[in-house]
């Protein structure tokens, strides 16, 4: 029996769609049948969620995310993945408060980087993520250093994500700017630490090794669902 998957999504809807597609497409590629795992999606209010982030209102932020987690629990899911990087800033608090397991995007990405023998990574994401320390803390446990772009570069990346990617706008100009930022750093790999970044940045675009957090997280969720 597969474990019923809960996806806490809507943050943003573009990446939530990609999670759903990746989990089921990967299942079919591996098994060549239609016994897909059951999936329940609870979609948060993206603006409300983002407002709590921007206001650094940790108490309300946790409370709101937990409402989504509790709704998924009521729907009978057996574990949950949050379909975004930024809420993992409060993962440890949520893990304590949740009655069912949470699958961390940060932990599975750090494990992937370790498997690849990476020692130094560049983290791209929204400013909230780049200015937090949860990726640095987790990767440090594996002997991996995580650095972030300059303040100006962070502002540019943040603008691309919120003004374009979360609503499905993909511009070559923005892609080229992101690739130029990546080229500024001598690292073993790049964490695409926003679940919208893989929409615009593909491995074929750069020689830098990209850690696609959506793909890594979705594959880990499928593996966990299928485990006995």
The two structure tokens encoding residue 224: 């966990």
Beta-strand (E) ranges in the chain? 5-9, 39-43, 79-82, 120-124, 145-147, 189-192, 210-212
pLDDT band (50, 70, 90) for residue 1: confident
How many other CB atoms are there within 10 angstroms of residue 138's CB atom? 21
- Distance of alpha carbon 183 from alpha carbon 199, whole angstroms: 19
How many other CB atoms are there within 10 angstroms of residue 46's CB atom? 16
Pairing of strands 39-43, 5-9: parallel
pLDDT band (50, 70, 90) for residue 19: very high
Residue 66 pLDDT: 98
Question: In 3-state terms, what secondary structure has residue 37?
Answer: coil
Please compute the mean of the pLDDT values over residues 183-203 and round it to a whole number: 97
* Structural domains for the chain: 5-104+216-226 (3.40.50.1860), 106-212 (3.40.50.1860)
Q: What's the predicted TM-score (pTM) here?
A: 0.96
**Continuous segment of H or E residues that includes residue 21:** helix 13-31
Q: In this structure, are residues 106 and 138 in contact, taking their beta carbons and an 8 Å threshold?
A: yes
Compute CA 133 distance to the chain's CA centroid, rounded to the nearest angstrom.
15
- Per-residue model confidence as pLDDT tens digits over 97-152: 999 999 999 999 999 999 999 999 999 999 999 999 999 999 999 999 999 999 99
Output the average pLDDT for the chain: 97
Please compute the mean of the pLDDT values over residues 193-216 and round it to a whole number: 97
Bridge partners of residue 120, in order along the sequence: 145
Beta-strand (E) ranges in 54-208? 79-82, 120-124, 145-147, 189-192
Residue showing tokens 């609503």 = 167
């Amino acid at each position: 029996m597969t474990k019923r998957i809960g996806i806490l999504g809507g943050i943003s809807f573009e990446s939530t769609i990609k999670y759903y597609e990746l989990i089921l497409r990967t299942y079919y590629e591996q098994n060549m049948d239609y016994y897909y795992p059951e999936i329940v999606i609870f979609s948060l209010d993206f603006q409300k969620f983002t407002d709590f982030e921007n206001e650094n209102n940790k108490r309300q932020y946790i409370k709101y995310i937990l409402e989504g987690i509790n709704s998924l629990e009521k729907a009978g899911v057996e574990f949950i993945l949050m379909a975004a990087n930024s809420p993992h800033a409060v993962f440890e608090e949520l893990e304590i408060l949740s009655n069912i397991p949470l699958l961390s995007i940060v932990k599975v990405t750090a494990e992937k980087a370790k498997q690849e023998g990476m020692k130094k990574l560049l983290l791209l994401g929204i400013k909230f993520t780049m200015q937090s320390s949860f990726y640095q803390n987790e990767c440090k446990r594996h002997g991996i250093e995580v650095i972030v772009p300059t303040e100006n570069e962070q502002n540019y990346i943040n603008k691309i994500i919120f003004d374009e990617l979360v609503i499905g706008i993909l511009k070559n100009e923005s892609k080229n700017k992101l690739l130029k930022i990546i080229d500024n750093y001598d690292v073993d790999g790049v964490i695409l630490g926003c679940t919208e970044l893989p929409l615009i940045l593909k491995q074929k675009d750069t020689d830098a090794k990209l850690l696609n957090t959506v793909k890594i997280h979705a594959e880990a969720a499928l593996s966990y669902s299928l485990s006995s």
